[in-house]
């Protein structure tokens, strides 16, 4: 086993463990922190697979924006960290069924997929015209031509998520004092600004 393979298995194990902790931990803040750890390990796997651009995008977008924004929303909202055990057992059959469906789909894909590069006609043919370009230029050329609609749709979804988080944090809550800028500026007591000549005082 080479060092690259060992590093790949370490990143994969930590990412799977972090993903398990995301759905099993009771504290939502800890859940978001484990989610960030999973994203970082996924970025490390992309670096090992020579997809540095995807690794940087994963860190900048997910870790630097989505995960931090999610953490900001979780910490600003009044979320009860105590979860009753009965509620977990109530939704356990549905969770197991969905997990079984995901695992079955992965097994079907792995069985029907041939990993030889010569048989991957779908992936090799479209990238022949980008053979002389770097990974970043090739991804940009495809992203802003064939998948421009998907790219713009993802940007709209992120914008809606950002606006939604701001709206949730600005909602009225009992027992929390808020600053009213309009009320402060519309006070009856005003400050008069007086022009004073040089080396002269003013009469109070």
Is 201 part of any domain? no
Six-digit token string for 186: 């519309």
Residue 203 lies in a domain: no
For 126-176, the DSSP string reads TTGGGTTS-HHHHHHHHHTTTTHHHHHHHHHHHHHHHHHHHHHHTS--TT-
Same domain flag for 92 and 50: no
Beta strands in the chain (DSSP E): none
**One domain, residues 43 and 98:** no
Instruction: Please state whether the predicted TM-score (pTM) of the whole model is above 0.75.
Output: no
* pLDDT in 10s for each residue of the chain, 204 residues: 788 888 889 999 999 999 998 888 877 778 888 888 898 999 999 888 888 888 888 888 888 777 777 767 666 665 555 555 556 677 778 888 888 888 888 788 777 665 544 444 544 445 556 567 777 777 778 888 888 898 899 889 988 988 887 787 776 666 666 667 677 666 655 666 667 777 666 665
Residue 41's CB is within 10 A of a number of other CB atoms, namely: 20
Q: Which helix (H) or strand (E) holds 29?
A: helix 28-48
* 135 and 99 inside one domain: no
**CB–CB of 76/168 below 8 Å?**
yes
Q: Structurally, how many domains does the chain consist of?
A: 3
Indicate whether 157 and 141 sit together in one domain.
Answer: yes
Domain extent at residue 107:
84-113
Asked if 23 and 74 sit in the same domain, the reply is yes
Residue 13 CA: distances (Å) to CA of 17, 20, 68, 106: 6, 11, 23, 17
Within-domain flag for 186: no
CA angle 192, 195, 197 (to 5 degrees): 150
- The CATH number of whichever domain residue 7 belongs to comes to 1.20.120.1200
Q: Which residues touch 79 (CB under 8 Å, ≥6 apart)?
A: 28
Domain co-membership, 93 together with 68: no
CA 200 – CA 204 distance, rounded (Å): 13
| Angstrom distance (rounded) from CA 142 to CA 147 | 7
Residue 56 and residue 21 in one domain: yes
Same domain, 5 and 71: yes
One domain, residues 2 and 78:
yes
């Amino acid at each position: 086993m080479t060092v690259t393979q060992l590093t790949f298995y370490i990143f994969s194990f930590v990412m799977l463990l972090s993903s398990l902790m995301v759905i099993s931990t009771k504290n939502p803040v800890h859940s978001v922190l484990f989610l960030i750890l999973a994203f970082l390990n996924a970025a490390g796997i992309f670096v090992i697979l020579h997809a540095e651009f995807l690794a940087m995008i994963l860190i900048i977008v997910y870790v630097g924006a989505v995960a931090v924004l999610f953490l900001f929303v979780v910490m600003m909202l009044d979320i009860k960290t105590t979860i009753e055990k009965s509620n977990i057992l109530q939704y356990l059959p549905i969770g197991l069924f969905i997990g079984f469906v995901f695992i079955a789909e992965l097994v079907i894909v792995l069985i029907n997929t041939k990993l030889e590069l010569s048989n991957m006609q779908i992936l090799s043919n479209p990238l022949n015209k980008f053979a002389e370009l770097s990974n970043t230029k090739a991804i940009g050329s495809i992203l802003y031509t064939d998948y421009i609609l998907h790219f713009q749709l993802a940007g709209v979804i992120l914008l809606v998520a950002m606006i939604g988080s701001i709206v949730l944090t600005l909602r009225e809550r009992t027992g929390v004092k808020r600053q009213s800028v309009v009320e402060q500026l519309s006070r009856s007591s005003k400050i008069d600004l007086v022009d004073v000549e040089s080396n002269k005082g003013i009469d109070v």
